[in-house]
Amino acid sequence: MPRKILIVEDHANTVHSIKKGLTEQHIEVDIALDGKSACNMVLQSHYDVIISDIIMPEMNGIEFCTFLRTKGIKTPVLLLSALDSTDMKITGLEAGGDDYLTKPFEFKELLARVRALNRRNKDAAESDERHVVTIGDLIIDMSNKTVHRGSGKIDLTPREYKLLEYLVQKKGQVVSKAELIENVWDIDFDPGTNVVEVYINYLRKKMDRGYENKLIHNRSGIGYYISDI
């Protein structure tokens, strides 16, 4: 169950009805009477789900959703509207809305949709966490294949990234040249090749140069490993 919800709605009876039902479910509720006020609120507080009308003064629900997504705010939005046209639903969803409920509605349906959005959002957040790995001040987003160290982005070639990703998956373990050749280059191991050394050197130049704390290490005669210790 969500803990805190923002209702963006200018119709007093609708606001009262939804707030009463959510409060009875022990959910904290904030109210904004228009999209412009809601923008300020979402920049200052965290909400598990947002319930927003589409037709509002100052800034409508479509514009509000667009604002959220351009700011990188991923909070799920349940859009409300008396307009039941397919075009309006598509417009709302394409602007960043996550679900659409037509007025009038029963509160139990709204609550079920809110619960579903909250559950989906938590699952997505947990998935994102699993795909973001940190080693010291190094951050690897395995979903987007991006790498940052400190405040700077590190641009890697696909092969460099694949090598880094494999070392990260084996964090703290010494990985042999043969294992790297097999899993990063997908070829049979040739004892005479120095391709691993070359690419390890590329990574060190991009990731460790200028930093006192080195992340890529080697154990002579055995292999390589990544660690912030």
pLDDT tens per residue, range 1-25 = 789 999 999 999 999 999 999 999 9
| Whether residues 49 and 148 fall in one domain | no
Same domain, 17 and 119: yes
Confidence of residue 182 (pLDDT cuts 50, 70, 90): confident
Q: What's the CA angle centered on 47, arms 43 and 48, to 5 degrees? A: 145
Rounded to whole angstroms, what are the CA distances from 76 to 2, 119, 141, 164?
Answer: 11, 10, 22, 33
Question: Among the three residues 129, 158, 188, which one is the final residue of a domain in this structure?
Answer: 129
pLDDT of residue 129: 54
Q: Are residues 13 and 117 in the same domain?
A: yes
Say whether both 121 and 143 belong to one domain: no
Q: What is the CATH number of the domain that holds 159?
A: 1.10.10.10
User: How many domains does the chain contain in total?
Assistant: 2
149 DSSP β-pair partners: 138, 152
Helix (H) or strand (E) holding 121: helix 107-131
Q: Rounded mean pLDDT of 143-150? A: 88
User: Domain boundary residue among 129, 161, 190?
Assistant: 129
Q: What is the CATH number of the domain that holds 90?
A: 3.40.50.2300
Single out the residue of 55, 115, 52, 54 nearest to residue 78, CA to CA: 52
Whether residue 149 sits in one domain with residue 121: no
Per-residue pLDDT of 73-99, as tens digits, reads 889 999 999 988 888 888 998 898 999
Q: What is the dihedral of CA 43, 46, 52, 55, to 10 degrees?
A: -10
Give the residue-averaged pLDDT of 160-166. 94
> Same domain, yes or no, for 120 and 143?
no
Given this model, what pLDDT does residue 189 score? 64
- Average pLDDT over all residues of the chain: 90
Instruction: Please tell me whether residues 10 and 119 are part of one structural domain.
Output: yes
Which residue range forms the structural domain that includes residue 107?
Answer: 4-129
In this structure, are 145 and 201 located in the same domain?
Answer: yes
Binned at pLDDT 50, 70 and 90, residue 144 comes out as confident
Statement to judge: residues 178 and 100 lie in one domain: no
Q: How far apart are CA 80 and CA 103, in angstroms?
A: 7
How far apart are alpha carbons 40 and 89 in whole angstroms? 25
Give the end of a domain, one of 87, 109, 129: 129
**Its pTM surpasses 0.75:** no
pLDDT tens per residue, range 197-228 = 999 999 999 999 989 999 999 999 899 999 98
